[in-house]
Structure 1
Amino acid sequence: MDLASIGWLTLLPPLIAIILALITKEVISSLLLGILAGAFIYANGSIIGMLTTTFGVMGDRMGENINIVIFLSLLGAIVVIVTKGGGSRAYGEWAIKHIKTRKGASFAATALGCLIFIDDYFNCLTVGTVMKPVTDKYRISRAKLAYLLDATAAPICIIAPVSSWGASVATYIQEAVGEGNGMNIFIQIIPYNLYALLTIIMIVIVCSTRLNFGPMKRFEKAAIEEGNLAAADSVQAEAEMEISYRGHVLDLVIPIASLIIGTVIAMVYTGGGFTGERSILASFGKCDSSLSLVLGSFFALVVTFVMYLPRKILSFKEFMESISEGVKSMVPAFIILVLAWTIGGICSEAYLDTGNYVGYLVKEMDFPVFILPCIIFLVAAFLGFATGTSWGTMAILIPIGVSICKTDGTMSMLYPVLGAILAGAVYGDHISPISDTTILSSAGAGCNHLDHVSTQLVYASVVAFCCLLGYVLMGILETAFVPLAVSIVLLCVILYGIARYENRKEPIDFSNVE
C-alpha cells in the first residue's frame, strides 16, 4: 500500500485500541476493534478484505511467535506444579521468616527482578511466581507488585549487555552505523539512557519509603488497611488448589534455577556459541531467544519431574493434570498477546507502515539541533506506546536517528540520539496497554491488566518528565553525566513534593503491616 495514500490514518488503529481500552477498561474488545479498523483501512473499505487481512495477519503473527506461546504454556505448567507440590508455599514460609518488613519484601522482589536480566518475559513471570506469597503476606497490592515486575524487566534488560535485549540492540546499532563495534557503542550509551537509569532510582525510592500516589495509592490503601490485594481471578484458583505439605524450599529454587541455567545455555547454543562460530558474548546477539526460552522451560519441567515423582511430592497423574491446569491458566494472557501481536502486524511495514510514517514526520520537522534528543525521545515514546513494542520501535528509529545525525553533520549527537531512542522506546512500551511485557507483568503478579496500566502510567510518566529536561540539556552539552545528575535531582525533588502533598491529603494507616 502507498504510504502517502493513507497518511495519518496509519495512526488510527493503535489510537482506537488504546483510547477504548482506557475508556472501557476492557482490553480484548478494544484491541479487536483497533485491529478491524486497521484492516478496514488497509483493505480500502472492503468488509471481506478486512476479515481476510485480520485473520491472515493473526495467523502469521501466531506462527512467528508460537515459541512464546509454548514457553508461556510450559511456564504456566511449572508454576502450577511447584504450587501444588508445596514449593511455593515452603519458599513463602521461609521468606516470611527471613523478610521481616514490608520494605524488605518490596526490595526482595526488586532485587530478584534485577538479577534476572536475561529476558523481560522470563523476568515478569518468574519473579511474580516466586514473590507473590511474600508480598501478599505484607499486604503489597498486586498493582504495586506488577509495577515492580515491569519496572525491573525492560529497564534492566535494556542496560544489560548480556541479555537478549542488549545483544539485539547492539546488532541494530552495528547495522545502522556501519562501522565500529555495536556492543561497544551499546555499552557507551548506557549513561545516555535516562529513562532506564531513573526508573531504577525511582524503584529504590518507592521501595524504601511509603510513597504512593496516583491510582496506585487507592490500591495500596485498600491492601494495607483492608487486606484487599485486588488480585486477578487466577489467584482464587491458586487458593482452591490442593497443595502438598511435603514440598521444600528447594522444590521451588531448583526448578527456577534450572529455568535460568537452561535458558542461558540454550541462548548460547542457538546463537552458535558452542560450535566455535562466534564468541559466547556474541552468541547472545545471534540467539533465537524465544526458542531458548522454550528449551530452558522444558529442561526445568524435566528437572521438576525427576525431583517430584520419586519423592512422591506429586503422583504421575497429579503432575500431568497440573500441566493441563498450568496451560489453561495462561489462556487470558494468550488471548491478549495474540491480539497485541496482530495489531502490531497491522501497523507493520507490510501493511499500514505506522513506524516509517512516524519516522517520515520526524525527518520533515525543522527544529534546532540541540532539541533533537528530546524530540527523538518523544517520538520513540509515542511509537512504543502506539505499537506496544519497544523492540520494533528501536528497530525502526535507530537507522532513522543515525541517518539524521549523518545527514545533518551532527555525529556528535549520535550517542544522545541513540540513548533517547532506547529510553523513549522503553517508556512507550512501559505505559502501553497493548505491550506484551505489560501484559505479562499483569499475569505474573496476578493483577487486573488495566489496573496495572493505570497505576504504572503515572509513576512512569513522572520519570519520563524528568528525562525530558535531561535530554534538552544533553542536546546543549552533548554529554551524559550533567543531564543525568540534573534529572536525578529533579526526580527526587518532585517525589518529595508529591510525598508531602499525599501525606497531607489522605495518609495511609500502616499499622496493619508493621
Structure 2
Amino acid sequence: MRLVTGVLFALALLVSWYVGRTVPATWTVESVALHVHQDEEGKDYFTYKGKPLYLENPVPFQEAQLNPERIHEYNQAGIGPPVQKEFAFKTETHNGEEEKLYYQLTAQRHWRFWSLLPAAVAVLLCWITREPVTALFGGIVSGAFLLGKFDLTEMVLVENLASKDAAGILILYLWMLGGLLGIWSRTGAAQAFADLMTEKFVQGPKTAKLVAWFLGIIFFQGGTVSTVLVGTTVKPLADKERIAHEELAYIVDSTASPIASQLAFNAWPGYVQAFIFVAGVPWLATESDRIAFFFKSVPFCFYAIFAVLFTFLLSIDRSPFLGKKMKAAIKRARETGELDAPDAEPLA
C-alpha cells in the first residue's frame, strides 16, 4: 500500500510539474459593476466590506488591458496580461444625459480540465490511504507545482499561515479548544458525564442518540466546535449502548453546521456575509446589510432544516431513508458490539 501511495504521489507531482511548464494558462476576465460615489473632494470611490475604496486611474473600457478582446489576444499568443486588476468605465446615454458606468476588471487563469488535478490527487490519496491530512497535503503540493511554486515553505505555507485568519484558527481551534479537550480527557469529565446520563436518563440506544442530538442543538456556536465537543462528550455514552460509530458520526456532524446556521447567534453570520458581498449591489454594500440579508435567508436553508430533522428521526429510530451500509453498521453494532467496521482505521 505504501508503495502504491508513493508511486501515485510521485506521478501526480510529475504530471503537475509538466502541465505547469508546458500547458499555457487560459486567462479570463471577471467584470464587476461598481456603485460609485464621490466624496467631498470629488474623488470617486466604492464601498468594499464597509470601507471606501478609491478608483485608481480608471480608463475607457475599450482601452483597458483587461478588455475581453485583448484577453482573447493574450490567450492566442500564449501569454498573460500585463496587469491583474484594473478599473474601467463606459459612457452611456440615458434620457439624453451621459452617465459613466464603472467596472472592476480582474484577470483570472485556469488550466482547463487540468485545474481539477489537485482535487483529483487529494481524493485518490484519501481513498487509498484513508488519511485526510496526507491526502490534503498531496493536493496542496500538486496545486503548488501546477502554479510553479516549488518553494512550499515560503511561497505556500508561510504565505497562507501568516494571515490573520490562519492565526485565529490556530489559536482558537488548535490551542484553546485542544487544551479544553485535553483537560476533559485527563479529568475524566466525558466519562463522568456518560455515567451520569446512564444513571439518570439513558435507558437504551434510542435515548443515548437523543442525548447526542440534543447536545448538538445546544452547542450551536459553530460547526467545528460542536463536532469536537459533542463527539468527545457523548462517545463513551454511545459506546456503552452499542451505537455504531458511523451512526454517531452522522448525528454529531449533521447537528453541527446545520444548527449553527439556523440558530445563528454565533460567528456564522459574520463568516457567511463575506461570501455574499457583490461589488456594485447597494443593498449588500455594508456588513450589517449582508448580515441582515443572511438572517432573512435562514428560513430558506432547506438543507440545514432537513439535516436536523432527519437526525432527530434517526435518533428515535424513525428515519424514512437509511442506506444499506448504515443499516448494516447499526445491525453489526447492536448484535455483535463491534462499533467500527472490520476494515476501519479510527483516527481517534
How high is the TM-score relative to the length of structure 2?
Answer: 0.58
Pick from 245, 248, 259 the counterpart of residue 142 of structure 1. Answer: 245
Pick from 130, 145, 148 the counterpart of residue 25 of structure 1. Answer: 130
Q: After the TM superposition, which residues 127-166 of structure 1 pair with which residues of structure 2 at under 5 Å, given as runs?
A: 127-166=230-269
2:282 is aligned to: 178
- Whether 2:157 is the aligned partner of 1:58: answer yes
Q: Deviations over 1:327-363 (max 9, x none)?
A: xxxxxxxxxxxxxxxxxxxxxxxxxxxxxxxxxxxxx
Q: How far did residue 60 of structure 1 move?
A: 3.0
Pick from 178, 183, 199 the counterpart of residue 307 of structure 2. Answer: 199
Q: After the TM superposition, which residues 27-426 of structure 1 pair with which residues of structure 2 at under 5 Å, given as runs?
A: 27-43=132-148, 49-50=149-150, 52-53=151-152, 56-64=155-163, 65-70=166-171, 71-97=173-199, 98-173=201-276, 177-179=281-283, 181-209=289-317, 212-230=322-340
Task: Output the CA distance in 2 between the equivalents of 1:189 and 1:206.
Answer: 27
Q: How far did residue 210 of structure 1 move?
A: 6.2
1:392 is aligned to: none
Q: Which has the higher helix share?
A: 1
Q: Secondary structure at the match of 2:323?
A: coil
Q: How far did residue 4 of structure 1 move?
A: 4.4
Unaligned runs of 5+ in 2: 1-24, 28-107
Q: How far did residue 182 of structure 1 move?
A: 2.1
Unaligned runs of 5+ in 1: 44-48, 232-445, 450-514
- Indicate if the aligned counterparts of 1:139 and 1:229 stay in contact, CA closer than 8 A: yes
2:283 maps to amino acid: E
1:208 maps to amino acid: I
* % identical aligned pairs: 28
Q: How far did residue 63 of structure 1 move?
A: 3.2
Q: Which has the higher strand share?
A: 2
- Indicate if the aligned counterparts of 2:144 and 2:156 stay in contact, CA closer than 8 A: no
- Indicate if the aligned counterparts of 1:39 and 1:53 stay in contact, CA closer than 8 A: yes
Task: Output the CA distance in 2 between the equivalents of 1:170 and 1:151.
Answer: 22
Give the CA RMSD over aligned residues: 2.9
How high is the TM-score relative to the length of structure 1?
Answer: 0.41
**Which has the higher relative contact order, 1 or 2, with Cα contacts under 8 A spaced 6 or more apart?**
1
Task: Output the CA distance in 2 between the equivalents of 1:5 and 1:112.
Answer: 44
Q: Deviations over 1:138-194 (max 9, x none)?
A: 111222222112111111122333121123323543655421632332122223222
